[in-house]
Amino acid sequence: MSLENSQVEVQPLPLAEEGSAKPAHPRVRETEFRDYAQITALESRYGLHPKRREEWTDLWVHNPVYRQISHWPLGWVCEDGDHQIIGSVANIPLAYEFEGRTLIAATSRALVMDSPYRAYSFSLLSRFFNQKNVDLFINTTVNAKAEKLQEAFRAVHVPAGAWDRSAFWITNYRAFTASLLARKGIPGATVLSYPLSAALFVRDTLNKALWEQGDRIDIEFCSQFDCRFDVFFDLLRKSYPHRLLASRSSAFLDWHFKHAFSANRVWVLTVGRGQELLAYAILCRQDNPELGLERMRLVDFQTMPGREALLRPMLLRALKRCQDEGTHMLEAIGFSFEKQRLIESMSPHYRELASWRYFYKASDPDLAASLKDPQAWDPTCFDGDSSL
């Protein structure tokens, strides 16, 4: 099955055809907060879904890394001769831990260029990859047409997990199949959704009984990231010193999911022992409004060593909630091979993605050599801008 992904991704930027005329060379400069209106207008023209002003500015203003760096470009814009913005790419700072040191990472977001100027998209993205004082470049929402741009700057596939395939479970069969048929442009989608949803239900009937097992472990839904998450992350990075981990302190988690929480679009599931966290999972609402598809996506799962099996009951609990609330599906993309095996044990459906989503580039040759090892990674949709 194939469903269109609603995640905001890097805008496709085909270069101009050979021999085509190019307009006057635009001026490239650093983005300023006052550029918001022009940037969002440009994004809207090309089918992106701009963030509200407060949410957009908070990518930097309340970002714990941005607040500690003396100068960090918000991104870069291209201006024409009339000072109108005709291209833009955002530049978001992140912090990672690896082998006892903190790494400064950069992730790009919403790369877009007005059609007559697309021959200059390469020079715009070069500003991102040519930054100094950045240890790691991570881009996690790369689509098929942007892959070549990533490769041109020697960014490579993350070596762990399947980032060109999605696993999913249907939790509202009739609504899901109506959305699927609507995407294919089949007339009478609502009527046809009944027999198709019945067929899918039969396929999944045996798995339905498993969903109740999620209640056998005491799983709680949290409404905030308290001090337990700081203790947990400190133990996590000490337990996996040779694994690249995005910072998951309570401050980073608060910043990352602040607006998702305020819009009731995130679930945080925890398993604990007294005041001690043993594991947590974070799921975000990532719908496709054009198809009327309501979707929860597993964006992160972390646990203490030896307790990876907790992913299964936590997913089962999330599936049950999706079913109770009428959400159409629950999806998981990426993750390490160990976590993928647990996901596969729950008999999901699959859909192929049009590209490998997760690219990275290390500035230091020694770091680049270390990150070639799949065991150095536990990649999730918490990385980059996938869930920002």
Which of these, 177, 217, 189, 225, lies nearest to 329 by C-alpha position?
A: 177
Q: Which pLDDT score is estimated for 121?
A: 86
Which residue in this structure is represented by tokens 């400069």?
29
Which two three-digit tokens encode residue 44? Answer: 């809207």
Produce one character per residue of 47-75: b if its CB has 16 or more CB atoms within 10 Å, e if not. ebebbeeeebebbbeebbbbeeeeebbbb
pTM value is: 0.87
Architecture, CATH, for domain 27-157: 3-Layer(aba) Sandwich (3.40)
- For residue range 229-268, list pLDDT tens digits in order: 999 999 999 999 999 999 999 999 999 999 999 999 999 9
Q: What is the DSSP letter of 67?
A: G
| 198, 174 contact by CB (below 8 A) | no
Which two three-digit tokens encode residue 32? Answer: 């300023």
Q: What is the DSSP letter of 24?
A: S
Q: Which pLDDT score is estimated for 62?
A: 97
Same fold, 27-157 and 165-352: yes
Burial class (CB in 10 A: 0-12, 13-18, 19+), 319: buried
Q: What's the CA gap between 279 and 337, in Å, rounded?
A: 18
- For residue range 114-132, list pLDDT tens digits in order: 999 988 888 899 999 999 9
| Sign of the torsion formed by the C-alpha atoms of 56, 58, 61 and 67 | negative
| 19, 126 contact by CB (below 8 A) | no
Q: What's the CA gap between 363 and 379, in Å, rounded?
A: 19
- For residue range 172-192, list pLDDT tens digits in order: 888 887 777 766 655 544 444
The backbone region for 307, taken as left when phi is positive above 0, alpha when psi lies in -120 to 50, beta otherwise, is: alpha
Q: Which pLDDT score is estimated for 58?
A: 98
Helices 337-344 and 311-325 cross at an angle (nearest 10°) of 50
CA atoms within 13 A on the CB side of 313: 17
Q: Where are the domains of the chain?
A: 27-157, 165-352
| 105, 135 contact by CB (below 8 A) | yes
For 154, phi then psi, to 5°, come to 65, 25
- For residue range 299-333, list pLDDT tens digits in order: 999 999 999 999 999 999 999 999 999 999 999 99
Number of neighbours of residue 157 by Cβ within 10 angstroms: 17
Per-residue pLDDT of the chain (388 residues; tens, 9 = 90+): 333 333 333 333 443 344 445 566 889 999 999 999 999 999 999 988 899 999 999 999 999 999 999 999 999 999 998 999 999 999 999 999 999 999 999 999 999 999 999 888 888 999 999 999 999 999 999 988 789 999 999 999 999 999 999 999 999 888 887 777 766 655 544 444 444 444 444 445 545 555 555 446 789 999 999 999 999 999 999 999 999 999 999 999 999 999 999 999 999 999 998 889 999 999 999 998 878 889 999 999 999 999 999 999 999 999 999 999 999 999 999 999 899 999 999 989 999 999 999 999 999 999 999 999 999 999 999 999 999 9
CATH number of 165-352: 3.40.630.30
| 140, 383 contact by CB (below 8 A) | yes
